[in-house]
């Protein structure tokens, strides 16, 4: 089986974030980067799938030089191959442009049976790249996956559980499929020291727009239809009222205040 | 009309909740600004009930595609049908709820039509004839406002409960436009097997009241105390990641950056410190109540009302008082 996994580098949310307010984009080099938390589950699921059903894993990321780190981490966890998708023309891509670039890379890898993605990235937070990727590639769209029940590699079939509002939906699908996973599907492992050392020395191969055969006018800021026009810090909620006094009085006051909101029936 | 505002009505096998219609309210406001009308559209096996209700919640027209192949929601089938409709009628704006279904169909439709979309919007307004969409970024530390210059229709997913529910007018009705989009089972790669209903009866995303617990709740037993308060108020139980990771409550209850984004009218945080990743999921709640032992806990900076104290003492007293005052 051939497995691809899409990993994104995101800024650590604890870190202070700097924006290029002119361009409406992040100054990504100003922040400590981490692997998108949901993509750790995607990567782990790829590793488990390889263990259970054989095959090879190709990890890809679209991002600047420093995003090589997330691929190095994937190599340390023993993925077979990695590619960083990078080109000046990719900068400023919206979700569709991002999904188009990832789709081109998956076509170039060729014969991919399953593409694993995270449910969403914690910076872009859109949670749609996986679904868009499936639509572009014509792969089965399997989003919010909380469990892979079975894969029948010979007959190219997969059965998954999806965590949706109100319960779990079980879906059977043909491969190839894009599977985007939620937290809790597995417990991501950590790379061992040997793996980290080995990965540190490895070349990270790159693919640019020409390698991928993508039309530069259709990606990056040029090809994106959505544009950020304003960035603002939401007004602080403002600390409210700390209710002080004897606990019984405080509780009495709070229940009155909440009942006054006319929400409780 | 060419600059109409369309609202997607989601359902599960024909079953809808009133919340399915919530976007018709903001849809109407936007349509007024564009000088156009708000229309609903739905895809399913039988849409008669949905059409009827959509008019009552303010739709002036309802577009529908029906067929057995659309019995269960499948992003693949629904997005093909939706793209057909959107391409044919080219409305100005299309609104979806940012639920799993709304997000899936919005994303796949946008990709089929070949452009980006704005997701999880919390603010929408028309300025100079242009739609401005505001959404949270970076765990709610920032908001960004986005415009969509090239794409039409502009596809937007909207955070549930971000806008007021429209009034229901039982006598309203309108024109139903039925289109057909034939799709055979053979053309589809996904098959519905079954739906396993969750034990949790209340949907966090739709709940008006949430009682949430964190590490300070101390264990599974503690969540029983919170459950009692939630039950008394007719609310749902939420949790911080620390509580979920400790195994005290399943992940489907997690609120925050890597959990659910919620916007209840009342959010009661018990034994939750108020880390930035937790705030990301609940800071737009209308009223936040914090109960925490530590007077310096950051949650108090975001709370409308705070009680410094042990939840084990405060919560049972709240239950008692509410029961007395609400005659329960
Ligand atoms: C990438 C990433 C993603 C994350 N995503 C999420 C997310 O989605 N959701 C989330 O919640 N967190 C998330 N976190 C974790 C987050 O940073 C915090 O660690 C977490 O929210 C802390 O949970 P807590 O407030 O329950 O625990 P703590 O921070 O340990 O706070 C416990 C609080 O309980 C109080 N307390 C103790 N005993 C009592 C008592 N008897 N009565 C009253 N108060 C008491 C204490 O004073 C303290 O303030 C994420 C972190 C990272 C790095
Ligand atoms: N630049 C990128 N490189 C690789 N994968 C990505 C990239 N952007 C998004 N993804 C994948 O798409 C998922 C959803 O991202 P998003 O739609 O940005 O929330 C992520 O969890 C990744 O698996």
pLDDT confidence tier of residue B206, bands split at 50, 70 and 90: confident
- Does the residue B289 lie in any domain? yes
The predicted structure's pLDDT at residue B2: 76
Question: Which of B278, B291, B300 gets mutated to test ligand 1 (max ligand atoms within 8 A of its CB)?
Answer: B278
Q: Which helix (H) or strand (E) holds A206?
A: strand A206-207
Quote the ligand 2 centre to B122 CA distance (angstroms).
Answer: 22
Question: Which of B238, B241, B293 gets mutated to test ligand 1 (max ligand atoms within 8 A of its CB)?
Answer: B241
B75, with CB counted inside 10 A (0-12, 13-18, 19+), is buried
Question: Which of A36, A67, A204 gets mutated to test ligand 2 (max ligand atoms within 8 A of its CB)?
Answer: A36
- Does the residue B200 lie in any domain? no
Taking the CA atoms of residue B228, residue B299, residue A244 and residue B292 in that order, the dihedral angle to the nearest 10 degrees is 50
State the residue for tokens 């939750």.
B272
From chain B, pick out residues whose CB is under 8 angstroms from the CB of A227: 146-149
By residue count, chain A amounts to: 265
- Does the residue B193 lie in any domain? no
Range of the domain at B213: 209-326
Among B111, B156, B210, B309, the strongest candidate for a mutation testing the A interface, having the largest count of A CBs within 10 A, is B111
What pTM, to 2 d.p., does this model score?
A: 0.90
* Nearest CA, atom 14, ligand 2: A120
Is the beta carbon of A24 within 6 A of some atom in ligand 2? no
| Same domain, yes or no: B176 and B226 | no
| Same domain, yes or no: B11 and B101 | yes
Strand partners, A230: B145
Mean pLDDT score of chain B, rounded to an integer?
94
Looking at the partner chain, which of B101, B151, B194 has a beta carbon nearest the beta carbon of A225?
Answer: B151
Is the per-residue pLDDT at A233 higher than 90?
Answer: no
* Nearest CA, atom 4, ligand 2: A61
Ligand nearest to C-alpha A124: 2
B304: contact with A, CB 8 A cutoff: yes
Domain closes at, from B120, B155, B187: B187
pLDDT confidence tier of residue A237, bands split at 50, 70 and 90: confident
Is the beta carbon of A42 within 6 A of some atom in ligand 2? yes
Question: Which of B141, B255, B272 gets mutated to test ligand 1 (max ligand atoms within 8 A of its CB)?
Answer: B272
Kind of pairing, strands B93-97 and B154-158? Answer: parallel
The predicted structure's pLDDT at residue B231: 95
B19: contact with A, CB 8 A cutoff: no
| Same domain, yes or no: B171 and B256 | no
Among B17, B158, B189, the strongest candidate for a mutation testing the A interface, having the largest count of A CBs within 10 A, is B189
Ligand nearest to C-alpha A129: 2
pLDDT confidence tier of residue B78, bands split at 50, 70 and 90: very high
Atom of ligand 2 nearest to the CA of A128: 17
Q: What's the rounded mean pLDDT across residues B189-217?
A: 90
Q: What's the rounded mean pLDDT across residues B70-85?
A: 97
**Who contacts B102 (Cβ-Cβ below 8 Å, separation ≥6)?**
B8, B10, B96, B157
Rounded Cα–Cα distance for residues A198 and A178 (Å): 30
| Same domain, yes or no: B216 and B255 | yes
- Does the residue B194 lie in any domain? no
The predicted structure's pLDDT at residue A173: 98
Domain closes at, from B187, B217, B249: B187
Cβ count within 10 A of residue A265 = 8
Q: What's the rounded mean pLDDT across residues A169-196?
A: 95
Q: Which helix (H) or strand (E) holds A174?
A: strand A167-174
Is the per-residue pLDDT at A26 higher than 90?
Answer: no
The predicted structure's pLDDT at residue A238: 75
| Same domain, yes or no: B89 and B157 | yes
From chain A, pick out residues whose CB is under 8 angstroms from the CB of B101: 164-165
From residue A188, give the alpha-carbon distance in Å to each of A39, A45, A120, B4, B278: 10, 8, 16, 47, 21
What is the percentage of chain A residues whose pLDDT exceeds 90?
78
Rounded Cα–Cα distance for residues A63 and A88 (Å): 10
The predicted structure's pLDDT at residue A234: 78
Domain closes at, from B153, B187, B221: B187
The predicted structure's pLDDT at residue A29: 58
Taking the CA atoms of residue A153, residue A159, residue A160 and residue A161 in that order, the dihedral angle to the nearest 10 degrees is -160
| Same domain, yes or no: B233 and B101 | no
Q: What's the rounded mean pLDDT across residues A67-91?
A: 96
- Does the residue B180 lie in any domain? yes
From chain B, pick out residues whose CB is under 8 angstroms from the CB of A123: 137-138
What is the domain count for chain B?
2
Contact B139, B257 (CB under 8 A): yes
Q: Order of strands, edge to edge, in the sheet holding B266-270?
A: A241-242, B305-308, B287-292, B266-270, B209-213, B236-239
The predicted structure's pLDDT at residue A13: 65
| Same domain, yes or no: B108 and B16 | yes
Minimal C-alpha gap between A127 and chain B (Å): 8
- The helix/strand/coil state of A226 is strand
Rounded Cα–Cα distance for residues A225 and A209 (Å): 19
The predicted structure's pLDDT at residue B171: 95
Find the CATH number of the domain harbouring B224. 3.40.50.1220
pLDDT in tens, B284-321: 899 999 999 999 999 999 999 999 999 999 999 999 99
Looking at the partner chain, which of B111, B146, B317 has a beta carbon nearest the beta carbon of A227?
Answer: B146
Is the per-residue pLDDT at A58 higher than 60?
Answer: yes
Is the per-residue pLDDT at A231 higher than 90?
Answer: no
From chain A, pick out residues whose CB is under 8 angstroms from the CB of B286: 261
Closest CA to B188 of B61, B67, B63: B67
Range list of H helices, A110-154: 129-137
Q: What's the rounded mean pLDDT across residues B104-132?
A: 94
Is the beta carbon of A125 within 6 A of some atom in ligand 2? yes
A203, with CB counted inside 10 A (0-12, 13-18, 19+), is exposed
Is the per-residue pLDDT at A146 higher than 80?
Answer: yes
Rounded Cα–Cα distance for residues B148 and B136 (Å): 17
Is the per-residue pLDDT at B139 higher than 90?
Answer: no
Contact B158, B25 (CB under 8 A): no
Find the CATH number of the domain harbouring B19. 3.40.50.620
Rounded Cα–Cα distance for residues A2 and A110 (Å): 9
- Does the residue B196 lie in any domain? no
Rounded Cα–Cα distance for residues A214 and A209 (Å): 5
| Inter-chain touch A239–B301, beta carbons under 8 Å | yes
The predicted structure's pLDDT at residue A17: 55
The dihedrals phi and psi of A129, each to the nearest 5 degrees, come to -60, -40
Q: What's the rounded mean pLDDT across residues B205-228?
A: 96
The predicted structure's pLDDT at residue A126: 86
Contact A25, A92 (CB under 8 A): yes
| Same domain, yes or no: B159 and B245 | no
Is the per-residue pLDDT at A28 higher than 60?
Answer: no
- Does the residue B95 lie in any domain? yes
Atom of ligand 1 nearest to the CA of B311: 42
The predicted structure's pLDDT at residue A186: 96
| Same domain, yes or no: B174 and B243 | no
Mean pLDDT score of chain A, rounded to an integer?
91
Peptide bond into B168 cis (omega under 30): no
CA atoms in the 13 A half-sphere facing the CB of B189: 20
Rounded Cα–Cα distance for residues B214 and B241 (Å): 7
pLDDT in tens, A186-230: 999 999 999 999 999 999 999 999 999 999 999 998 888 888 888
Closest CA to B264 of B238, B226, B244: B238
Rounded Cα–Cα distance for residues B164 and B25 (Å): 7
The predicted structure's pLDDT at residue B89: 95
B141: contact with A, CB 8 A cutoff: yes
The dihedrals phi and psi of A73, each to the nearest 5 degrees, come to -60, -40
The predicted structure's pLDDT at residue A25: 62
| Same domain, yes or no: B218 and B160 | no
Rounded Cα–Cα distance for residues B157 and B93 (Å): 11
B186: contact with A, CB 8 A cutoff: no
From chain A, pick out residues whose CB is under 8 angstroms from the CB of B258: 37-38, 122, 183
DSSP state for residue A54 in the 8-state scheme: -
The predicted structure's pLDDT at residue B66: 96
| Same domain, yes or no: B256 and B305 | yes
The predicted structure's pLDDT at residue A16: 56
Cβ count within 10 A of residue A27 = 13
Q: What's the rounded mean pLDDT across residues A157-185?
A: 96
B208: contact with A, CB 8 A cutoff: yes
Is the per-residue pLDDT at B164 higher than 80?
Answer: yes
Name the token pair of A47: 């590793």
- Does the residue B202 lie in any domain? no
Q: Which domains does chain A have, with CATH numbers?
A: 2-223 (3.40.50.620)
Minimal C-alpha gap between A107 and chain B (Å): 17
| Same domain, yes or no: B151 and B224 | no
Quote the ligand 2 centre to A7 CA distance (angstroms).
Answer: 6
From residue A158, give the alpha-carbon distance in Å to each of A135, A145, B105, B222: 18, 12, 21, 39
HEC secondary structure over chain B: CCCCEEEECCCECCECCHHHHCHHHHHHHHHHHHCCCEEEEEEECCCHHHHHHHHHCCCCEEEEEECHHHCCCCHHHHHHHHHHHHHHHCCCEEEEECCHHHHHHHHHHHHHHCCCCEEEEEEEEEECCEEEEEEEECCCCEEEEEEECCCCCEEEEECCCCCCCCCCCCCCCCEEEEECCCCCHHHCCEEEEEEEECCCCCCCCCCCEEEEECHHHCCHHHHHHHHHHHHHHCCEEEECHHHHHCCCCCHHHEECCCCECCCCCEEEEECCCCCHHHHHHHCCCCEEEEEECCCCCHHHHHCCEEEECCHHHHHHHHHHHHHHHCCC
Rounded Cα–Cα distance for residues B292 and B269 (Å): 8
């Amino acid at each position: 089986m051939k497995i691809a996994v899409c990993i994104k580098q995101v800024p650590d949310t604890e870190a202070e974030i700097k924006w290029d307010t002119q361009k409406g984009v992040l100054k990504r080099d100003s922040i400590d980067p981490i692997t998108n938390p949901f993509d750790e589950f995607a990567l782990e699921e790829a590793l488990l799938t390889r263990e259970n059903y054989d095959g090879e894993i190709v990890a890809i990321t679209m991002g600047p030089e420093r995003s090589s780190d997330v691929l190095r981490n994937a190599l340390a966890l023993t993925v077979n191959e990695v590619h960083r998708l990078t080109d000046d023309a990719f900068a400023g891509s919206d979700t569709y442009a991002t999904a188009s670039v990832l789709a081109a890379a998956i076509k170039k890898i060729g014969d991919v049976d399953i593409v694993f993605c995270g449910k969403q990235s914690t910076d872009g937070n859109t949670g749609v790249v996986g679904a868009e990727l499936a639509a572009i590639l014509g792969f089965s769209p399997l989003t919010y996956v909380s469990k892979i029940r079975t894969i029948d590699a010979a007959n190219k079939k997969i059965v998954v559980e999806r965590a949706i509002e109100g319960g779990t939906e079980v879906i059977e699908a043909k491969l190839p499929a894009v599977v985007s996973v939620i937290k809790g599907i597995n417990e991501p492992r950590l790379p061992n020291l040997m793996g980290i050392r080995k990965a540190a020395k490895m070349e990270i191969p790159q693919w640019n727009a020409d390698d991928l055969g993508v039309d530069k006018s259709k990606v990056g800021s040029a090809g994106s239809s959505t544009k950020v026009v304003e960035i603002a810090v939401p007004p602080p909620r403002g600390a409210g009222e700390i209710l002080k006094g004897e606990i019984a009085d405080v509780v009495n006051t709070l229940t009155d205040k909440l009942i006054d909101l006319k929400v409780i029936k | 009309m060419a600059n109409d505002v369309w609202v997607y009505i989601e359902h599960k096998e024909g079953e809808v909740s009133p919340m399915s219609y919530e976007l018709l309210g903001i849809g109407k406001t936007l349509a007024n600004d564009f000088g156009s009308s708000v229309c609903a559209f739905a895809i399913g096996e039988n849409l008669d009930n949905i059409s009827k209700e959509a008019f009552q919640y303010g739709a002036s027209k309802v577009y529908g595609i029906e067929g057995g192949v659309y019995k269960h929601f499948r992003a693949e089938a629904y997005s093909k049908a939706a793209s057909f409709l959107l391409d044919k009628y080219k409305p100005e704006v299309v609104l979806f709820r940012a639920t799993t279904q709304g997000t899936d169909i919005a994303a796949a439709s946008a990709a089929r039509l070949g452009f980006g979309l704005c997701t999880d919007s919390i603010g929408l307004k028309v300025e100079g004839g242009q739609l401005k969409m505001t959404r949270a970024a970076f765990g709610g530390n920032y908001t960004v406002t986005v415009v969509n210059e090239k794409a039409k229709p502009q596809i937007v997913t909207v955070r549930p409960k971000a806008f007021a529910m429209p009034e229901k007018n039982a006598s309203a009705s309108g024109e139903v436009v039925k289109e057909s989009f034939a799709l055979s089972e053979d053309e589809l790669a996904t098959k519905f097997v079954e739906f396993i209903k969750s034990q949790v009866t209340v949907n966090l995303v739709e709940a008006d009241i949430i009682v949430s617990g964190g590490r300070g709740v101390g264990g599974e037993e503690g969540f029983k105390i919170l459950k009692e308060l939630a039950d008394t108020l007719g609310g749902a139980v939420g949790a911080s990641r620390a509580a979920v990771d400790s195994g005290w409550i399943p992940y489907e209850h997690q609120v925050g950056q890597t959990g659910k984004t919620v916007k209840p009218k009342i959010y009661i945080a018990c034994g939750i410190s108020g880390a930035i990743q937790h705030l990301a999921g609940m800071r737009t709640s209308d009223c936040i109540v914090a109960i925490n032992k530590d007077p310096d806990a950051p949650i108090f900076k975001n709370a409308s009302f705070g009680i410094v104290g042990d939840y084990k003492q405060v919560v049972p007293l709240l239950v008692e008082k509410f029961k007395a005052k609400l005659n329960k």
